[in-house]
Amino acid sequence: MKQCWVIILGVLFGISLLTNETYGHGVIGKRFFPATLVVDDPFVSDELDLLKVNKGSKNADGTETSVGSEFSKRLTPDFDLSVGWQYLFQQPTDGRPTSGAGNPEFGFKYVLARSPEHEFIFTTGFDAEVGGIGPARVAERISTFAPGLLFGKGLGDLPDSLQYLRPFAINAQLQVNIPSRRRTFTTTFTEDGDIEKDTEHHPTTIPFGFAINYSIPYLQSFVKDVGLPAPLANLFPIVEFNFETPVSGPGKKLTTAFVNPGIIWVGKYVELGLEAQLPMNKVSGKNAGINALVHIFIDDLLPNIFTWTPWGVIGPTPPPK
Amino acid sequence: MKPLGKRALSSFFALVLSGTVFQTLAQAHAFPVRSDPRVGWTVALSPSKVTIWFDGELEPAFSTITVFNSAKQQVDKGNSRVNDPDASVLEVDLTPLPPGTYHVFWKALAKDTHVTQGDFTFAVDKK
């Protein structure tokens, strides 16, 4: 597994040296927002998370690593649908390692408001994990529904005296994870003939988080050309914070919290990201995890295919006058 | 876990390879790579023109540069154009500029009709 990581990172760095071309998507005004690794970004898009990896921190339940993909397709300039899937590797604290496909996830996003002048976008979304499709050893038997709100704001409208802060941008997400059942009751017969009843609670949770990035392309194109060459010119240093608070069940108020510092590199058709996942409290885990992303701007890569919809080709969003 | 790891890695290499190949076939948003005068810099003498190099080819009809002084008066010659041999270069001629700060606004229409835009300042030295 370590060899795989070394090879993948080597290839990603090699790709970054091949081109000095910059970015492709998530544009509002003159601001480009990269796709973030933990917090969902507020843009509707034709994009593909080709490879999304999370090697989680070790917590009371054990450790879990997920390797997945997600595809999103615009049907209008303000509305997209998405489908995602993960393969899970679990190492329980008191059991044997296991692995398998998780449940599929479906979702949509709709842009409620955008202000190119202020580099602002506000979006609503809905995600659903369809329970019972993946094997029971790794996947939930219940479904989960998650309405949410997302926004993005660039600081490009700061005054001249704060011009070096203009490359900063923030995007944030707030959801409510609603399970299809609050509890699952299971009854098992032991070898002694006794009956054991078990109750598994499925709490409603509130995941929320925000990401702050500093855009080197924005700095060099709109504030001051500091002379950074490619691939440094295409970097977005980033830190993401994500939290999840159960609001029902026995674990109520035990908030998990992580800080995820890292770096994103954006090319014309590909985005690459790598972050450390650091737990912020005991509930969240003991050691550092890893987030990694290979993201493809498929409508830029193959515009004749991925800008198509049943009701016509989606053109570019016109700039403000 | 190992078979899946090999499959995933093979798929990854194949897609990255195909993506690299498609980079020469597809066109996308055009973003600036560098400019002359450089973004945010002060130059000693009045430049004769503003030039911006982009990372992709532009449509000449809808790609423009305009330059204003601090009094918001236009100081370019209104002949904004895509460079003839190199369609990724946008330029405009300037009238002689006295010392001061100047604001450049650009709009670029890429070959695939994606529009990008931006602005930056440069200054002419007071010496």
Instruction: Name chain B contacts of A317, Cβ cutoff 8 Å.
Output: 115
| Arithmetic mean of pLDDT, A270-287 | 94
A50 band by pLDDT with thresholds 50, 70 and 90:
very high
DSSP SS3 for A18: helix
CA distances for A183 relative to A128, A144, A145, A177, A206, angstroms? 18, 13, 15, 15, 18
Q: Which positions ≥6 away from A77 have C-beta within 8 Å?
A: A44, A111, A314, A315, A317
Instruction: Name chain A contacts of B118, Cβ cutoff 8 Å.
Output: 30, 221-222
Q: What is the CATH number of domain B27-124?
A: 2.60.40.1220
Instruction: Name chain A contacts of B33, Cβ cutoff 8 Å.
Output: 20-22
A317 band by pLDDT with thresholds 50, 70 and 90:
very low
Q: A231 preceded by cis ω (within 30°)?
A: yes
Q: Hey, which residues does A87 pair with through a beta bridge?
A: A67, A101
Cβ contact B39–A221 (<8 Å): yes
Nearest CB among B16, B38, B55 relative to A22 is that of B55
pLDDT tens profile A213-227 = 999 999 999 999 999
Residue A198 scores a pLDDT above 90: no
Cβ contact A302–B119 (<8 Å): no
Mutate: best of A1, A21, A71, partner B, most B CBs <10 A: A21
* Domains of chain A by residue range: 12-73+89-300
Instruction: Name chain B contacts of A9, Cβ cutoff 8 Å.
Output: none
Residue A209 scores a pLDDT above 70: yes
B119 band by pLDDT with thresholds 50, 70 and 90:
very high
Cβ contact A316–B20 (<8 Å): no
CA distances for A275 relative to A50, A78, A136, A241, angstroms? 17, 29, 30, 11
Mean of all residue pLDDT scores within chain B: 82
Spatial separation of the C-alpha atoms in residues A90 and A137, rounded to whole Å = 9
| Arithmetic mean of pLDDT, A170-185 | 93
Amino acid letter for position A309: T
* Domains of chain B by residue range: 27-124
Percent of chain A at pLDDT above 70? 89
B25 band by pLDDT with thresholds 50, 70 and 90:
very low
A315 band by pLDDT with thresholds 50, 70 and 90:
low
B contact set with A (CB within 8 A): 1, 4-5, 8-9, 12-13, 15-16, 19-20, 22-23, 26-29, 31-35, 38-41, 55-56, 107, 112-120
Return the H-helix or E-strand segment holding A125. strand A120-129
**Alpha-carbon distance A40 to nearest alpha carbon in chain B (angstroms):** 22
Return the H-helix or E-strand segment holding B2. helix B2-22
| Arithmetic mean of pLDDT, B54-77 | 94
Residue B113 scores a pLDDT above 80: no
B19 band by pLDDT with thresholds 50, 70 and 90:
very low
Nearest CB among B15, B32, B56 relative to A50 is that of B15
Report, in angstroms and rounded to the nearest whole number, the Rg of chain A calculated over CA atoms: 21
More confidently predicted of B19 and A69: A69
Number of other CB atoms surrounding residue A319 within 10 Å: 16
Mean of all residue pLDDT scores within chain A: 87
More confidently predicted of A94 and B39: B39
| Domain covering A12-73+89-300, topology | Porin (2.40.160)
